[in-house]
Amino acid sequence: MQIGKLDRIELGVFPTPIQELKNLSKQLGGPRLLIKRDDLTGLGLGGNKLRKLEYAMAEARALGATAIITIGGPQSNHVRLTTAAANRLGLKTILVLRGEEPSRATGNLLIDKILGPDEIHFVGAEGFPSKTELDRIADDKAAEIAARLEAEGETPYVIPNGCRAIHGAYGYASCVLETVVQLRDLGTAPTAFVSAIGTSSTYTGLVLGTHLYTDDEAEAIGISVVATPAVDLKQRIGGQLDEACAVLRLTSAVPHEAIRICDEYVGAGYGLPTDTMREAVLLTARSEGILLDPVYTGKAMAGLIGLVRSGTFTSDDVVVFMHTGGVPGMFADTQIETFQSA
Ligand SMILES: Cc1ncc(COP(=O)(O)O)c(C=O)c1O
């Protein structure tokens, strides 16, 4: 089955631009660097989730959904974009946000409020639950809300944090194809894609896409921004690839050796600033005028810079950095100190 024939609702503005990072490449003495501007996907301030949501919302529509319930942290880019997409489609939105309600809404949460979901529920604020426990509390709350909505005559559709992996795989495999075509028009071809790994399906899609559309000539490198050890991430991504290959009825599975993860750039944990992230954000802003975010793309760019400096690429390489969005998170109260001394 071809990904292009799957049911999808157009939400974003595609293709997103691809731009040369000539100054950054020169400063690093590196390979040809390009940036895929998926921060400019054109709805709700943009970001990678829109490519996934195009498939998730198509599934919701096929099931007759009237209300979308989704889950995330108060600074979730996923929640912001899901709310924007649901507004566009005229669906109710109910948000389940993990943790305590902050006294002031900033960053993504402020944008959520402007987008105006029907309900916002903060859960798990008491008793310092572990991350696993907090996830369970949020899932239980989403299920409770879904049951209530059904009793009220609505048809709810739950979108998990970061969307279902299969939707991310479709969205980002398609993004590889889009990029290959753009680079063909520029007379070249990608040899590597570099992206952040959070919930991981963006990266799964890139691995799938390089296998399908570059005949394995390009590699996809994932820079983890979460505390999960690389071995566990690799196992999860392998499972997601196998699922995508089965659903798409591919004759040969994507070899798990294609999964390449760097986990040296997360620092003390998800969302916590690192010196290499700060350097990467400032270098990209000051050499190219392009803003990255502190949680995902800043750490991913730190990874790319580290790879260039350690001689991973040759001067013949054509490396595509995925700008997956997230810049509204720069204006969250939790990040406000990060660049005060810049
Ligand atoms: C801005 C941004 N970049 C990258 C990612 C990582 O994508 P994924 O969750 O598919 O790994 C996310 C979400 O987690 C994100 O919000």
Q: For 299-342, what is the HEC assignment?
A: HHHHHHHHHHHCCCCCCCCEEEEEECECHHHHHCCCCCCCCCCC
Q: Is there a single domain that holds both residue 233 and residue 272?
A: yes
Asked if the structure places residue 80 within a domain, the reply is yes
Chosen domain end from 159, 182, 217: 159
Taking the C-alpha atoms of residue 53 and residue 85, their distance in angstroms, rounded to an integer, is 8
pLDDT score recorded for residue 342: 87
Q: Find the catalytic residue in 25, 76, 200, 224.
A: 76
Asked if the structure places residue 338 within a domain, the reply is no
Taking the C-alpha atoms of residue 50 and residue 106, their distance in angstroms, rounded to an integer, is 22
Q: Is there a single domain that holds both residue 115 and residue 220?
A: no
In 226-274, alpha helices (H): 230-247
Strand 119-123: give its sheet, edge to edge: 119-123, 92-98, 67-72, 156-159
pLDDT score recorded for residue 230: 96
pLDDT score recorded for residue 252: 85
Domain count, the chain: 2
Mutate to test the pocket of ligand 1, among 199, 224, 236, 301 (most ligand atoms within 8 A of CB): 199
Task: State the amino acid at position 319 in one-letter form.
Answer: V
Q: Is there a single domain that holds both residue 169 and residue 276?
A: yes
310 is an active site residue: no
Mutate to test the pocket of ligand 1, among 36, 48, 75, 194 (most ligand atoms within 8 A of CB): 48
Taking the C-alpha atoms of residue 188 and residue 197, their distance in angstroms, rounded to an integer, is 26
Q: Is there a single domain that holds both residue 236 and residue 284?
A: yes
Chosen domain end from 129, 159, 189: 159
Asked if the structure places residue 59 within a domain, the reply is yes
Percent of residues, the chain, with pLDDT higher than 70: 100
Longest dimension (CA), the chain: 62
Q: Where in the sequence is the domain holding 177, given as residue range(s)?
A: 3-47+164-331
In the chain, alpha helices (H): 22-28, 49-62, 77-89, 107-115, 131-151, 165-185, 201-213, 230-247, 275-288, 297-309
CB 142 within 8 A of CB 149: no
Please report, in tens digits, the pLDDT of each residue of the chain (342 residues total): 899 899 999 999 999 999 999 999 999 998 999 999 999 999 999 999 999 999 999 999 999 999 999 999 999 999 999 999 999 999 999 999 999 999 999 999 999 999 999 999 999 888 888 889 999 999 999 999 999 999 999 999 999 999 999 999 999 999 999 999 999 999 999 999 999 999 999 999 999 999 999 987 899 999 999 999 999 999 999 999 999 999 999 988 899 999 999 999 999 999 999 999 999 999 999 999 999 999 999 999 999 999 999 999 999 999 999 999 999 999 999 898 999 988
CB 4 within 8 A of CB 174: yes
Chosen domain end from 159, 188, 209: 159
Q: What are 131's two structure tokens?
A: 């991350």
Q: How far is the CA of 149 from the centre of ligand 1 (A)?
A: 29
Closest-CA residue, ligand 1 atom 12, reads: 198
pLDDT score recorded for residue 126: 84
pLDDT score recorded for residue 39: 98
Taking the C-alpha atoms of residue 4 and residue 126, their distance in angstroms, rounded to an integer, is 45
Q: How far is the CA of 321 from the centre of ligand 1 (A)?
A: 14
Q: Is there a single domain that holds both residue 269 and residue 303?
A: yes
Asked if the structure places residue 138 within a domain, the reply is yes
Ligand 1 pocket residues where CB is under 6 Å: 47-48, 77-78, 162, 168, 196-203, 293, 296-297, 324-326
